Structure 1
């Protein structure tokens, strides 16, 4: 499990959950889940990305939980969810299984929610989008800063011309087994370059660095291989619910070309939002814009029964 070293004060400190529970996935993996906000309110499910945790959504949880039921969970190996027991536990199939388990544990039969995924969380939703038990609960989807294939080849983290050399170096950087170590000024500068816009405020960089550095090295490496071999282009076409897409124009990890490709392939795209000056960590870099888009999608597609 991750060492929880996230911010403990300020807007990026995770709020206390109204309820915590454990969802059990198809292979027995135990997934940590927390809920915020009033029962019966419109539901939002938040799936974070690679090397992150529920703490990544602190700003959205604070802004939404007054009048939404917010469900956030730790992807396997992240936060308080146990790491996969073996290599088979690292796959998009496993991520989709986990999402199914979370929805079953938190939503009533037929209850609808907006599913929001950042980076690997978006890949989770794409991988699961064609499953009946996910369609049962998905009123709409918001994909943030994500991609469906060619992640390493199209990454701009390594400042070289596209080609085999850049791809090979990028693969070695993203798949490194080296521990990230403590959160130092140098570590924050490196993380900011790779994952955030140049204008990101110091408190936002610090919040991201604390979350990312908490991810265990073996877990980070295990998921890096899945991202390297990702192929979800077919699954994008199976995501047959209203789906919004949001991306930063300065994203080096999943450049905006990915968002544009996904938006063009979706059966029911309801808008692509491109954020100037924003990198990969959109929910922390541009919390107001991401939260506003979530509210718009919820308001349009989630209907709550009277007396619920």
Structure 2
């Protein structure tokens, strides 16, 4: 009996050591950027970004910033609806998609992400843009407006929480970000589990593409965990509606009535932003640009026209 106990303890000690070693190795992991999805890599002081730049180069600009664990692929339905007569710039945030995934946790702050987007717009010689952010992209474009006001002429926020209290993350997602155990779960999570978690970002019945699963699996543990922590820290320093109100920029807020991640009632907080337009779309979830692309495009275009001088405001298709 004593030998059995010793053997069991030895096995547990080895497993514990492996978990700790895995956490150390994964915690220091980084990945370089690569050009993908029709994009190009911009080597920037803040980090290397994969960026897609489509539409007429001399047209008014719209910049699209995706959600947590996502990529510029999430704009694949909306982008062509805007790019007929607008310059549309889609960005893979640091740690996401095909952009660089630094080992430094500070690279994932909303402020640093916003600086990287501003550097990309500078490198592309883009005019002041209508900045569109979905979920985590909402705080990023808000930080962009706060830190680089000359770069932004208006904001569209899709299913971004005004307060972190309105976010409902499943237990598996919380465990996957935890120290020690999180790196192990991130490494061994099968595609089926990832797909099930991603399905919560859509209304019931949406088929999650393999590419979206690959976006999550391609993240390092540092980018996966620190991006979430950074979003929380940004929210702790002020609610998103208050931050946007302080910028004084025109605002459109789009929510899905069936959002299973952010309580749709949170959209009401944005009605306190002076001049804000708040639209809740029935029968869709957390990702309007994929679940209702035509409606989303119309709403983006309406604010786009509102924020342009009459001389630059060429007729735009709805």
TM-score normalised by L of structure 1? 0.77
Task: Tell me the residue number matched to 1:223.
Answer: 227
Distance (whole Å) between structure 2 residues aligned to residue 238 and residue 224 of structure 1: 24
Q: Which of 261, 267, 271 is 1:264 aligned to?
A: 271
Match status 1:50 vs 2:100: no
The 3-state SS of whatever aligns with 2:78 is helix
8 Å CA contact 1:54–1:79 kept in 2: the answer is: yes
Compare 89-98 and 43-52 and name the one that shifted more: 89-98
Tell me what 1:87 maps to.
105
Alignment check: 8 A CA contact 1:129 1:240 kept: no
Give the distance between the partners of 1:180 and 1:276, measured in 2 at CA. Answer: 37
Q: Map 1:247-286 onto structure 2 (within 5 A).
A: 247-261=255-269, 263-269=270-276, 271-286=277-292
Higher helix share: 2
**In the TM superposition, what whole-angstrom CA distance separates every residue of 1:281-306 from its partner, at most 9, and x where no partner exists?**
22112222212211222222224649
Contact 1:77–1:219 (8 Å) recurs in 2: yes
Contact 1:97 1:128 in 2 (8 A): yes
- The CA RMSD over aligned residues, in Å, is 3.0
Residue of structure 2 equivalent to 1:154: 166
> What secondary structure, in the 3-state scheme, does the structure 1 residue paired with 2:186 have?
coil
Give the count of matched residue pairs: 274
Q: Which has the larger radius of gyration?
A: 2
Which of 285, 293, 301 pairs up with 1:295?
301
Deviation at 1:83, TM superposition (A): 1.5
1:43-87 Cα offsets, whole Å, 9 max, x none, are: 110111111111111111222222111111110111222123412
Cα 1:259–1:54 shift into 2, 3 Å: same
Distance of 1:118 and 1:213 partners within structure 2: 20
Mapped partners of 2:55, 2:154: distance in 1: 20
Greater shift after overlay, 120-129 or 176-185? 176-185
| Distance in 1 of aligned mates of 2:228 and 2:192 | 25
1:24 aligns with 2:44: yes
**1:23 touches 1:105 (CA, 8 Å); kept in 2?**
no
For the residues of structure 1 that align with 2:98 and 2:246, how far apart are their CA atoms? 31
Task: Please state how far the C-alpha of 1:181 moved relative to its aligned partner.
Answer: 5.9
Distance 1:59 1:289 in 2: 11
Return closer, same or farther for 1:257/1:76 CA change in 2, 3 Å cut-off: same
Structure 2 partner of 1:39: 57
